[in-house]
Each structure stands twice: as structure tokens, then as C-alpha cells.
Amino acid sequence: MTKESVRLTIFLRHDQTKNLEQIDEILFSQGFWENFPPAGVSIVSWQVLMGIGQVVTLEMPPAKVREVNLMIEQKAWGAFKTEFYPTYDFLPVLEKKRAAAAARKK
């Protein structure tokens, strides 16, 4: 991640009034699979949470946040209920904290 980029985690919660075939039909017919994410946006991770839906973390220049939001509204609504969270990579912080904890034991 560069200083000029931000991370955004999106919860794509399954609409449980629809089965998987119905959800896929919405996503295919609205062009989700061939258009998401928009150009200039990278997928950091894409996980399935069984019984809940999918969680996608994206990395992008700040100017792309609006474009991602619009794409979700246009291409994913009807199949998913969505939630957006600004995020960051905690692993480097974790490594520093573990090193500090080990140093305190000495």
C-alpha cells in the first residue's frame, strides 16, 4: 500500500430471501462479474463467510472510492446488502507489538 492509496473493506451480505442461483442471475445480468472492481482498484482479499456472504478488501487511490461505491450500487444491489469499512493492514503493527512484548520479558 502506498501513501496515495486507501483500503476499503466491503461486506457483501447475502440476501437470504434468494438462493445462490437467483443471486448469481442478478450479478450476471447487472454486469457485476465483468466490471468489478473498476480499473485502477486492486483486490487485496476476497473471502466467503459461510452463512453471511462475502468480504472484499480493495486498495485504491482515494479518488476511486466514489467510483467503487457507485459500482456497488449499480452492479451488486439486489443481490447483496452492503457495508463499507475503511481498513488498514495490522500485520506490521502486530510484529512491532510482539517484538516489544519479547523485549519486555528480558
User: Domains in the chain, start-ordered, CATH in brackets?
Assistant: 6-105 (3.30.70.120)
Question: What's the CA gap between 30 and 34, in Å, rounded?
Answer: 9
Nine-digit cell string for 84? 463499507
The tens place of each residue's pLDDT in the chain, 106 residues long, gives 556 899 999 999 998 999 999 999 999 999 999 999 999 999 999 999 998 999 999 999 999 999 999 999 999 999 999 999 998 888 889 999 999 999 998 8
Q: Is 23 helix (H, G, I), strand (E, B) or coil?
A: helix
Q: Residue 58: what residue type?
A: L
For 105, how many CA atoms within 13 A lie in the half-sphere containing its CB?
6
Question: What's the CA gap between 83 and 12, in Å, rounded?
Answer: 7
